[in-house]
Amino acid sequence: MVLVAIHSGGFLRRPPALLLLALVALAALGVWARVRGSRRMAATFAAKAPAFTRPDAAARERLHALIIEKRSLLAELDPLASEGTFSVNLPHLIRSPRLALAYRRLAREESRLLGTRRAVSMQQAWWRPLHMALAWLFVLGVVIHVVTVTFFAGYVADGGPITWWHLRAWGG
């Protein structure tokens, strides 16, 4: 984080400063997750929340169909994985994006039917999606920054001297 702050050179009113803001938010959210969120998560695993009660017959039928569909997808996606503990990750998305996204859709539907987000506090339910969104924004911002300073150095320099390594000075 210090290197990003130094690299920004104190220009906090320009778009690259948003990268620093995303990084600070990621760090703050990570600290919260380790210090406060982990205790809440541990308490969730030790409790039997009311939302985890047995679903009605229609929901059980839909859950049964979802699990059968998830298992058949999983056999193609990752044959050695177990449906109960499997989670889609980047290698799955790269190797077989259609199957991975279909599996994620089914997992979200299962979670919705079970009401897992309703069983915990709002902070506990949404910290990870927020953390992932901030991380993706940061990565996307870094990629955009690298592309612009490498290929559009003239635009970034805004008429001034280009004092960094670059391939093209388009936009100047």
pLDDT higher than 60, residue 51: no
Split at pLDDT 50, 70, 90, the class of 155 is confident
- The amino acid occupying position 29 is L
Average the pLDDT over each of 14-23, 40-49, 64-73 and give the range with the smallest value: 40-49
CB 134 within 8 A of CB 29: yes
pLDDT higher than 90, residue 73: yes
- As beta bridge partners, residue 152 has 169
Q: Residues 6 or more apart from 24 whose CB is under 8 A from it?
A: 1
pLDDT higher than 80, residue 13: no
Would you state the pLDDT for residue 96?
Answer: 93
Count other Cβ atoms within 10 Å, centred on residue 86: 18
pLDDT higher than 70, residue 11: no
Alpha-helical (H) ranges within the chain are: 2-8, 17-32, 38-46, 57-77, 90-95, 97-114, 122-151, 153-157
